[in-house]
Structures are given as C-alpha cells and as structure tokens.
Amino acid sequence: MPRQPRNFENGGIYHIVNRGVEKRDIYLKPQDYSRFILGLEFCNTSEHVDIWNFINKADKETSDIFLSVSEKLKKQREENKRSDPIVELMAFTLMPNHYHLIVREIRENGISLFMQKIGGYTTYFNKQYDRVGPLFQSRYKSVVVKDDRQFMNTFVYVHTNPIELIESRWKDMQVKNKKKAIDWASSYKWSSYKNYLGEKNFSGVTKRDFFLEFFNGANGCKEVVEDWVSFKSDNAELGQEIIE
C-alpha cells in the first residue's frame, strides 16, 4: 500500500526523530555530524540544490572540517538568491545512531520537503563509506507539540538526550553524577543547546526566538534543563526501585 501523506498544520510545532537502519550509527566521525548540520541549514529552502553531492565534491577540495564547505555553500546561495526558508528549525540534537529535531511548519508542505531533502544525507554517507542501500529505518516519526507542558518537556528531552552517552540508564531516573551530566549536556557540540545558552555553535542553523521567549531567556533554558537532570539524580533510588 502507498504511504499516507503527512498532515502538518501551518504554524504547528513538531518533534521529529529518525534513526539508522537496524539502529546502526549514522555518524562515524566529527565530519559526518558537521555535514549533517550543514544540511539542516542549506536544505531549508524551496530551491533545488543538490546539497549532498555538492558537499561530497567540496570535501575532495578541502581538508577543513566545516568552515570551507560552509563558505562555498553560502557563496552559492548568494549567487542563486536562495528563497525564503521552508521551515523554522527550532532545535536539534544529533546522536550516534539517530537525531532529534523540533520544527515549525511555516509554509504548506514545508516540513515534508525539508525532511525529503535531509534524507539525501544517505547520498553523502554512502559515498563517504563506499556503501549502498538505505541508511535510515523507514520513515521519520513526528509528534505534534500541543501545549506548554509538552513544549517544555520536548525542549528538555531533545537537549538532554546526549546524557545517554555517559549515563546509559538516564531514562529510568538513573543519573548518578548530576554535575557531570549537566556539564556534558551543556558542552555537547552536536546540539543547539549551546546556542540557547548564548554560545556560538552552528548558530545560523536554528531560530531560537520562540523558546527563548517561552523560558524567559538563556537562564530560563538552562534552569529547566538543569532542574530535569537534578530531578533524575535526586530520585535515582526511586528509579532503581521501579526497575527492580
């Protein structure tokens, strides 16, 4: 049966997740993370740009991890007079075998087109590692964010996801070292959280006005994330009882 089309509401905010086929890693080195983030920025247009082949070609001409390719793409964008963005990318986190995005629909079919373009990362990855076939498992999952509580929870969940890399049982309220977990989340490079704290880190990729206003600025964003980590840490014993 053909897949049913997605129904994204104009102005709606969605939490989008996709992972590697068979839960395989989709980023094998720092360059892969940075290239995917480049894709998040330069796929956000209605113009038809073969971004992933362009990146592969540019990679052969430079040894720089991020900036040289970014400059080439920005120059091409200026030459082509890139159209307005098709989505509002509000937040992201990349994990070794999956990614999280928070995206607002700002024009009809914007999210669908954006995700279709992002799926082209497979082209980049397969050429880099001399492989064939799909990289992602089936379709991406999307969940509409409906109310204030869900806005808060989604923001926190996306930006604390990297804690799983050092606290494997974090989802079961098993955060053993609160300070280490907080420091890890706030320094994790492949996420928009550092931008929300006021640091420069792929800052042109996301539009952060909504959440900064929602949490009353960078300190509010920091507070809600750290409160969550503290709750997980302070209730670790309860989490262990639930598991047992």
Alpha helices in 84-120 (DSSP H): 110-118
The answer to whether the CB of 99 falls within 8 A of the CB of 27 is no
On whether the 13-145 domain is CATH 3.40.1190.20, my answer is: no
**Domain layout of the chain by residue ranges:** 13-145, 148-243
pTM: 0.87
* pLDDT tens sequence for the chain (244 residues): 445 567 789 999 999 999 999 999 999 999 999 999 989 998 998 877 778 877 777 666 554 545 555 565 666 556 555 557 899 999 999 999 999 999 999 999 999 999 999 999 999 999 999 999 999 988 899 999 999 999 999 999 999 999 999 988 777 777 888 899 999 999 999 999 999 999 989 888 999 999 999 999 999 999 999 999 988 887 755 444 433 3
Q: CA 202, 207, 211 angle in degrees (round to 5)?
A: 115
Question: Do the beta carbons of residue 89 and residue 39 sit within 8 Å?
Answer: no
Side chain identity at 222, as an amino acid letter?
K
What is the Cα–Cα distance from 142 to 5, expressed in whole angstroms?
12
